Amino acid sequence: MFDFEFQNPTRIVFGKNSVAKLDALVPADARVLVLFGGSSAERTGTLAEVRAALGKRERREFGGIEPNPTYETLMRAVELVRAEKLNFLLAVGGGSVIDGTKFVAAAAGFEGDPWRILETFGGAVTSALPFGTVLTLPATGSEMNHNAVVTRASTHTKAFFANPLVFPKFSVLDPTKTYTLPSNQLANGVVDAFVHVVEQYLTYPVEGLVQDRFAEGLLRTLIEVGPKAVLEPRVDYDTRANLMWSATMALNGVIAAGVPQDWATHLVGHELTALYGIDHARTLAIILPAMLGLRRDAKRAKLLQFAARVWDITDGGEDERIDQAIEKTRTFFESLGVKTHLSDYNIGADAIDGLVAKLEEQGLTKLGERQDVTPTIARRVYEASL
């Protein structure tokens, strides 16, 4: 096992009707900015619940944070925070709203050009406004970690930052908030959480026995509840609760502690969002099967473990088991309505030069747990994803 440090101070408030607890969670004298995305927060009544719980606190609202939140939009929120001297942020939404809120929290008091927060991967952050979240879409795990991805619209660049100062103070997780989600968003959430686990698990063995068991437990849970959540017409509380908690645990640091991490699928996939606007989770479903297939030698031991412990595949030769496990993964994604080939999005071989160039432009030339995913390998992955 690798040496590690682990700390995650976010308070989770999980269960039915937990939005009402905001009154106890947000300081009584806070001047609050409520951040949200599109119209669903209003339409579903969640914003009304939030307003009621915040009561007489000074409150402003900032809507319109996009999926893949943009620097340009978020900087308008930063200006509002500064102008109105707001001192507490409340994200109401999914990963994009929460990621965006992390950036606003870090940028509000930042001296100099806030883009530096992203250029330094968060290293330049020295303070952040406190914030909480009300999660409406289980997927990214942003509600219990200190990472965020922000897109610069002007350059189609997806940039990442992390800093312990942007852990949410609290996150309210009410599984009933997922009841109004369209099935494609639920499916995206299942795939996103699944691939988060895979990025921290399918590398090489380091005798991280607990981490492996936990990762496998999350994958099995997602395989069990994913189809129920996405495909069954009847809404079931426990299914949604398990999906929500799996997605949170998938990226809160617990399964990452002491083990190698990959993230090449994410980074190679990011360019598909940046250049073609494909939903983040759908880029993962396209890239992952090809990525695992091509890197099977470096990942052999863990792929065989994945086959045995997650998919119960124990018969056949090694490559046969690995092929079956990858195929089962692909079929799982497809069963949720998530396509797994670039051609499903009308993207052909002619796009690949541009995708690889975008990776190189950002210096993303040595990806993965062994830093062996070069532009050459990335090109082969895109080709195998056609």
* Stretch of 1-9, 98-106, 300-308, 348-356 lying at the interface with a second copy (CB under 8 A): 1-9
Shortest spacing between CB 225 and a second copy, in angstroms:
7
Q: Residue 16 or 82: which CB sits closer to a second copy?
A: 16
From candidates 31, 116, 152, 220, binder to a second copy by CB under 8 A: 220
Does position 179 interact with a second copy (CB under 8 A)? The reply is no
Measure the CA angle with vertex 169, ends 164 and 172; round to 5°. 130
Inter-residue contact 159 to 152 (CB < 8 Å): yes
From candidates 13, 162, 298, 384, binder to a second copy by CB under 8 A: 13
Residues forming beta bridges with residue 32, ordered by sequence position: 59, 88
Q: Residue 80 or 206: which CB sits closer to a second copy?
A: 206
Does position 246 interact with a second copy (CB under 8 A)? The reply is yes
Tell me the C-alpha distance between 98 and 104, whole Å: 10
From candidates 23, 72, 84, 207, binder to a second copy by CB under 8 A: 207
Inter-residue contact 151 to 274 (CB < 8 Å): yes
- Binding residues with a second copy: total (CB under 8 A): 40
Shortest spacing between CB 254 and a second copy, in angstroms:
7
Q: Residue 244 or 268: which CB sits closer to a second copy?
A: 244
From candidates 258, 276, 335, 362, binder to a second copy by CB under 8 A: 258
Does position 8 interact with a second copy (CB under 8 A)? The reply is yes
Q: Residue 3 or 350: which CB sits closer to a second copy?
A: 3
What size, in residues, is the chain? Answer: 386
Does position 213 interact with a second copy (CB under 8 A)? The reply is yes
Tell me the C-alpha distance between 274 and 61, whole Å: 28
Please give the DSSP secondary-structure letter assigned to residue 66. Answer: P
Tell me the C-alpha distance between 119 and 129, whole Å: 20
* Stretch of 43-51, 177-185, 246-254, 350-358 lying at the interface with a second copy (CB under 8 A): 246-254
31-36 vs 58-62, strand pairing mode:
parallel
* Stretch of 15-23, 43-51, 147-155, 315-323 lying at the interface with a second copy (CB under 8 A): 15-23
Q: Residue 9 or 354: which CB sits closer to a second copy?
A: 9
Tokens of 250: 């998938």
Q: Residue 99 or 216: which CB sits closer to a second copy?
A: 216
Inter-residue contact 303 to 327 (CB < 8 Å): no
| DSSP character string of 239-275 | HHHHHHHHHHHHTSSTTTTTS----HHHHHHHHHHHH
Does position 218 interact with a second copy (CB under 8 A)? The reply is yes
* Stretch of 44-52, 87-95, 154-162, 238-246 lying at the interface with a second copy (CB under 8 A): 238-246
Q: Residue 361: how many CB atoms within 10 A of its CB?
A: 11
* Stretch of 111-119, 151-159, 177-185, 214-222 lying at the interface with a second copy (CB under 8 A): 214-222
Q: Residue 327: how many CB atoms within 10 A of its CB?
A: 14
Does position 115 interact with a second copy (CB under 8 A)? The reply is no
Does position 176 interact with a second copy (CB under 8 A)? The reply is no
Inter-residue contact 73 to 113 (CB < 8 Å): no
Distances (CA, A) of 352 to 17, 269, 291, 303: 47, 12, 15, 27
Q: Judging by beta carbons within 10 Å of its beta carbon (0-12, 13-18, 19+), is residue 115 exposed, middle or buried?
A: middle
Tell me the C-alpha distance between 188 and 279, whole Å: 8
From candidates 105, 139, 195, 225, binder to a second copy by CB under 8 A: 225
Shortest spacing between CB 169 and a second copy, in angstroms:
10
Residues forming beta bridges with residue 232, ordered by sequence position: none
Does position 366 interact with a second copy (CB under 8 A)? The reply is no
Does position 301 interact with a second copy (CB under 8 A)? The reply is no
Residues in contact with a second copy by CB under 8 A are 1-16, 18, 207-210, 212-214, 216-218, 220-221, 224-225, 238, 241-242, 245-246, 249, 254, 257-258
